[in-house]
């Protein structure tokens, strides 16, 4: 996988899953669908991994095993979701879910980049123009470069590190650290958690409907959620659930699930309508999480723009106050 994932690369992955979903839903076998995509991939870089996938399937591997043998070409979240799809017999549905997920991420990425273009241009203008007056009077080029690139280069590094750290391809320990760091942030933490619950509910419904045992279905669905906290919590249930505790009791004891999720799941467990309840939870949390993350994508550039404008205003006011103070000092000398 590339060092930094761009909106264009997210769109390519969305197109890959979209085509796989269409081909498999139309009744084409997975090997033949991969062959079709290998001939006309969304991007040339997908051709070789698709070829390796087909080879692994010809060797007798399951689709999940074939994905794992291709290295880190496919994120762990994708592999977990597709494993759930393979076990539940709903690979086409999982392909569509992944296509929508990556298309939405690409759309939000493009929106944020477009909204940040003007604040970024304004920031560069301010960084170069504010110290220019002193450079014009002193002629100190080294001081001017220090005050401009000395600000921009560290800023570039901070932005690069932030983007790299936010990529979802890192190990579970790092993702858990990022999850704890982001959780208290308004909208962003809530949106991520809602989408994780949405994915968990979707995978859980598919796995239970396919006859997978409850504890195995929960553990796999927790991996699909993409949340290390949820995955750790569900892993800790195994001994209690095997000893006779129901999942709804484990949910209430964990304290990590929202009351709405816990109450709805308990109602579905009692009524025997878990599939309906989980589908409703998936739809609700997906809508809630998407709405909050889209709000983050809209407001982040505005907040950055406001900070830049305030910083420029502060420098302008400071410059003129210093200028008037010098005039007063000169006038006071006469």
User: What was the pLDDT predicted at 25?
Assistant: 87
**What span, in angstroms and rounded, lies between the C-alpha atoms of 21 and 224?**
18
**What span, in angstroms and rounded, lies between the C-alpha atoms of 80 and 172?**
13
* pLDDT above 70 (res 4): no
**What span, in angstroms and rounded, lies between the C-alpha atoms of 28 and 36?**
10
**What span, in angstroms and rounded, lies between the C-alpha atoms of 82 and 280?**
21
261: exposed, middle or buried (Cβ count in 10 Å: 0-12, 13-18, 19+): buried
Mean pLDDT of the chain: 85
Q: Which fold has domain 7-99?
A: Receptor-associated Protein (1.20.81)
* pLDDT above 60 (res 175): yes
For residue range 83-123, what is the model confidence (pLDDT) as tens digits? 888 888 888 888 988 898 889 888 888 888 888 888 888 88
User: What was the pLDDT predicted at 170?
Assistant: 62
User: What was the pLDDT predicted at 12?
Assistant: 92
For domain 170-334, say whether CATH 1.20.81.30 is its number. Answer: yes
For residue range 221-243, what is the model confidence (pLDDT) as tens digits? 898 888 888 999 999 988 888 88
User: What was the pLDDT predicted at 285?
Assistant: 94
User: What was the pLDDT predicted at 139?
Assistant: 80
User: What was the pLDDT predicted at 80?
Assistant: 84
For residue range 62-71, what is the model confidence (pLDDT) as tens digits? 998 998 888 7
Q: Which residue, among 309, 330, 323, 272, has the nearest Cα to 126 in the 3D structure?
A: 309
- Section 213-225 average pLDDT: 88
Residue 171 — pLDDT band, cuts 50, 70, 90?
A: low
For residue range 282-320, what is the model confidence (pLDDT) as tens digits? 999 999 998 998 888 888 888 888 888 888 888 778 777
- Domain boundary assignment for the chain: 7-99, 170-334
Q: Do domains 7-99 and 170-334 have the same CATH topology?
A: yes
User: What was the pLDDT predicted at 147?
Assistant: 86
**What span, in angstroms and rounded, lies between the C-alpha atoms of 1 and 72?**
6
């Amino acid at each position: 996988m590339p060092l930094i994932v761009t909106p264009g690369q997210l769109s390519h992955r969305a197109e890959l899953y979209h085509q796989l979903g269409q081909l498999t839903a139309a009744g084409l076998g997975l090997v033949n669908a991969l062959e079709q995509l290998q001939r006309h991939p969304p991007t040339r870089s997908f051709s070789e991994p698709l070829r390796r996938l087909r080879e692994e399937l010809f060797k007798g591997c399951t689709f999940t095993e074939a994905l794992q043998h291709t290295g880190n070409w496919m994120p762990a979240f994708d592999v977990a979701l597709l494993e759930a799809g393979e076990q539940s017999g709903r690979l086409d549905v999982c392909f569509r879910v992944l296509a929508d997920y990556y298309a939405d991420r690409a759309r939000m990425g493009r929106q944020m980049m477009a909204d940040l273009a003007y604040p970024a241009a304004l920031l560069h203008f301010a960084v170069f123009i504010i110290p220019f007056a002193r450079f014009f009077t002193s002629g100190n080029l080294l001081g001017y470069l220090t005050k401009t690139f000395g600000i921009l280069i560290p800023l570039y590094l901070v932005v690069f590190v932030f983007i790299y750290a936010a990529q979802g391809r890192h190990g579970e320990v790092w993702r858990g650290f990022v999850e704890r760091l982001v959780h208290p942030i308004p909208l962003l933490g809530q949106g991520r958690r809602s989408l994780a619950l949405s994915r968990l509910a979707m995978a859980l419904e598919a796995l239970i409907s396919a006859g997978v045992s409850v504890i195995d279905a929960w553990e796999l669905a927790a991996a699909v959620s993409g949340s290390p906290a949820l995955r750790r919590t569900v892993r800790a249930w195994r001994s209690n659930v095997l000893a006779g505790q129901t999942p709804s009791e484990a949910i209430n004891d964990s304290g990590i699930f929202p009351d709405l999720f816990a109450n709805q799941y308990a109602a579905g467990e009692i009524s025997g309508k878990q599939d309906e309840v989980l589908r409703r939870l998936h739809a609700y949390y997906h809508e809630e999480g998407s709405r909050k993350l889209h709000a983050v994508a809209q407001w982040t550039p505005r907040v950055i723009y406001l900070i830049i404008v305030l910083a420029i205003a502060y420098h302008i006011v400071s410059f003129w106050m210093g200028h008037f103070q010098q005039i007063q000092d000169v006038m006071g000398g006469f």
